[in-house]
Amino acid sequence: MFKDWHTLLACSVVLLFGFVLFYLGTDGFQAYTAETARVNQLITDQPEFPDVVLEDSNGRSYHVSELQGSYVFITFMYTSCGTVCPILEMNMAQVYRAVPERYIGEEIIFLSISFDPERDDPATLDKYKEHFGADGDTWRMARINNQEELEKLLSTFGVIVIPDDSGNFAHNSAFYFVDPQGMLIDVMDYTDVNNAAERVISTLQKEEGEDR
Amino acid sequence: MNQLIIGALLLLVLALPPVRHLLESIMIVHMHMQMPLLVVAGFLTAKYMQEKLPGFFKKWNRNGLPGILLFVIIMVYWTLPRTMDEALTVPAVEIFKYVSLPFLAGVPLRDSWKKLSVSGKNTVFTGFTMLFFGMGWLYIKSPEQLCNNYLLVEQLTLGWGFVTMAVCMVVYLVYKALVDPSEYE
């Protein structure tokens, strides 16, 4: 088949090109979907949580910077969601229960952020939080009323929300872990509760060890 | 010359922003209509290039193997969920799509196809049939959304589109294997 060196050379060049193309296109055969690439990129970049104003289920409004000093464990959801959000929040509840009580509310705050501020007013959030055993204080559910701030946060954290025809949203889901300085330090698979809980607890224990 | 004009026009029309947005707004149209049309556009312009650069194709693609390899690589690359997503969000990837599909897939396909032996052609067909079954299975069976810019239901549609294409190719392969056209001439 390779009697002439032109063909041999041409095939080699093509194969080399293909290798480089796939290598670059998948970040070194790591990320075959944009979601994997997004998460890898976020973990490398560690972006800062943009300053947004939250309105939580108790009707309190405050800048997210007021939460600085604690780790924050975040999910993005909307209460009318019938598919992935309940599972996301249920899994978040498992992490919430797995974290030793002495850390809860002090070293770490749980925060569910709704990207549907129109429907998710404080009363709705207050009712929704009951399903998952959130107390509204150590685990808060909040909306962001300022559309600009909401979009900035979603784009910084790479949350893609697509409204569909029937008033629902398609969106990607993950656990977001923000450190006391307000930097995003990890994005975790929301279906792997054990791994997420372990990551959170070991981070808190390490912090505790350093403080002593 | 006519083919060159049609090919170039097709590429131009596909590159118009409204056409682009329309075709890319539906996942299955993006993959099974826009992308093949880009290949077709390149395919049409290939004749002109062959006439202009006969030496190049003869020298570097004598038996069609390098060309068909390039075609396969480019096609497989564009079936990755990630590349489809990034074509929508990263302008450089979108530009690469408009260059690679016509000129790195369409042109080499036309130059290579006639040069391939019957068994070579069948290998390519069988390979793509398996790839399409595989991609169909992936897009249908994947419990998660593979593309951030498309809904899950669109992903299912695309998956079944792949399977349908694969079934058509199986029909074609069976036909090729069982029917001898010369008997009907």
B82 vs A38: CB contact, 8 Å cut-off?
no
State residue A162's pLDDT score.
Answer: 80
Q: Please give the residue of chain B at the shortest CA–CA distance from A4.
A: B62
Q: Where are the domains of chain B?
A: 2-184
User: Which pLDDT score is estimated for B116?
Assistant: 94
pLDDT at B121 over 90: yes
Q: Residue B81's closest chain A neighbor by CA?
A: A33
Q: Looking at residue B143, what is its pLDDT?
A: 65
Judged by average pLDDT, the poorest of A39-43, A164-168, B58-62 is A164-168
Distance from CA of B157 to the nearest CA of A (A): 16
Phi, psi of A109 (to 5 degrees): -120, 140
More confident residue, A179 or B182: A179
Q: How confident is the model at residue B12 (pLDDT cuts 50, 70, 90)?
A: very high
Which among A67, A14, A114 has a CA at the least distance from the CA of B69? Answer: A14
Kind and range of the H or E element at B53? none
Partner-chain residue, chosen from B60, B70, B151, that has the shortest CB–CB distance to A170: B151
Q: In the predicted model, what is the mean pLDDT of residues B127-156?
A: 84
- Say how far apart CA B61 and CA B76 lie, in whole Å: 20
Categorise residue A26: left if φ over 0, alpha if ψ from -120 to 50, beta otherwise. Answer: alpha
> Tokens standing for B93?
């990837």
Do residues A95 and A200 make contact, with C-beta atoms less than 8 angstroms apart? yes
| A7-46 residues touching B, CB cutoff 8 A | 7, 9-11, 13-15, 17-18, 21-22, 25-26, 31-38
Q: Is B64 near chain A, with CB under 8 Å?
A: no
B-facing residues of A in 142-171 (CB < 8 A) are: 160, 162, 164, 170
Q: Is the pLDDT of residue B25 over 80?
A: yes
Between A164 and B170, the higher pLDDT residue: B170
Contact A11 B69 (CB under 8 A): yes
Chain B residues 4-23 with CB within 8 Å of chain A: none
Cα–Cα distance between A99 and A206 in angstroms, integer?
14
Chain A nearest C-alpha distance from B175 (Å)? 29
Q: How far is A21 from A28, CA to CA, in rounded Å?
A: 10
Per-residue pLDDT at B185: 73
Per-residue confidence (pLDDT) for residue B102, from 0 to 100: 96
User: Within chain B, what is the greatest distance between any pair of CA atoms?
Assistant: 53
Question: Which residue among B65, B86, B149 sits closest to A11, beta carbon to beta carbon?
Answer: B65
Q: For the segment A27-46, what is each residue's pLDDT rounded down to a tens digit?
A: 888 888 887 888 888 888 88
Confidence at residue A167, expressed as pLDDT on a 0 to 100 scale = 75
Would you state the pLDDT for residue A211? 65
How far, CA to CA in Å, does A87 sit from each of A75, A79, A83, B156?
11, 12, 7, 21
| Chain A partners within 8 Å of B89 (Cβ) | 34
For chains A and B, CB pairs below 8 A equal 76
B64 sits in the region (left: phi over 0; alpha: psi -120 to 50; else beta) called: left
Calpha distance A60→A143 (Å, rounded): 11
Query: What's the CA gap between B147 and B154, in Å, rounded?
Result: 10
At residue A40, the pLDDT reads: 85
CATH code of the domain occupying A42-211: 3.40.30.10
The pLDDT of residue B75 is 95
Residue A153: exposure state from Cβ atoms within 10 A (0-12, 13-18, ≥19)? buried
Cα distance between residue A55 and residue A144, in whole Å: 6
For residues A111 and A35, which has the higher predicted lDDT (pLDDT)?
Answer: A111
Spell out the domain ranges in chain A.
Answer: 5-30, 42-211
Q: Is the pLDDT of residue A1 over 60?
A: no
Considering only CB atoms, B148 lies closest to which of A13, A25, A160, namely: A160
DSSP structural state of residue B61: S
Query: What confidence tens digit (pLDDT) does each residue in B63-89 have?
Result: 999 999 999 999 999 999 899 989 998
Average pLDDT over residues B160-175: 93
Region label for A169, one of left (φ > 0), alpha (ψ between -120 and 50) or beta (otherwise): beta
Residues B150, B30: Cα–Cα separation, whole Å:
11
The mean per-residue pLDDT over the stretch A40-58 comes to 88
Share of chain A above pLDDT 90, in %: 54
User: CB contact, 8 Å: B77 with chain A?
Assistant: yes
Q: In angstroms, rounded to a whole number, what is the distance separating the alpha carbons of residues A106 and A103?
A: 5
Any A CB within 8 A of B89 CB: yes
Q: Check whether A152 has a pLDDT greater than 60.
A: yes
State if pTM tops 0.90: no
Mean pLDDT, range A63-78, rounded to an integer: 91
By C-alpha distance, the chain A residue nearest B64 is: A7
Residue B150 tokens read as: 């498309």
Residue type present at position B79: T
> Which positions in chain B touch A1 (Cβ < 8 Å)?
63, 65
CA A12/CA B68 separation, integer angstroms: 13
pLDDT average, residue stretch A47-70: 91
